[in-house]
A = this chain, B = another copy of it.
Amino acid sequence: MKVLTKKTDYAIRALLMLAAKKGSYISTKAISAEQDMPYQFLRGVLQEMIRHGLITSKEGVQGGFMLEKDPDEISVKQIIEIFQGEVQVSECMFRKQICINRSRCVLRHEIMRIEQVVSGEFQKITIGGLLRKLTAANSAKPALNESDKSSSETT
């Protein structure tokens, strides 16, 4: 059971880069190269995020994308919802004869409770929070933006 798709994955990583260099434009090419994501695919992901107001763009030479919202206001939940739709365990898992009265369906309650929990966990995680943890862990080293080849471990 895979929870996050590539789009969500790439989106989060791109946002982390943009958050690390908040205020300046970064091109798709730069992000794609740095994070090793397929260029055209990433472009689609970035454009989708514009439509949802997370980032803005500037065309032409020296153009690129810039973070629009406060990193602490961007949750992983939001990103999942953009690229994978709302968190739902099962549309209506037991829609047939099992539940005599659907409006009082207990299984539904159970399912919705999990949805709340899962959803809540993803909401807790923000781009801002992730970035702080990242930079803290990477100490004084330049995070995300510099193509740091000095690191010993990669995979």
Chain A positions near chain B (C-beta within 8 angstroms): 1-4, 9, 12-13, 16, 34-36, 80-81, 84-91, 93-107, 110, 114, 117-118, 121-122, 125, 130, 133-134, 136-138, 141, 144, 147-148, 151-155
* Copies of this chain per assembly: 2
Contact B90 A153 (CB under 8 A): no
Write the chain B residue with the least CB distance to A34.
Answer: B97
Chain B residues with CB below 8 A from A101, complex form: 137, 151-153
Q: Contacts A106-B136, A141-B100; is A80 near B1 (CB within 8 Å)?
A: yes
Contact A98 B1 (CB under 8 A): no
For A155, give its contact among B95, B114, B138 (CB under 8 Å): B95
Contact A137 B106 (CB under 8 A): yes
Write the chain B residue with the least CB distance to A83.
Answer: B1
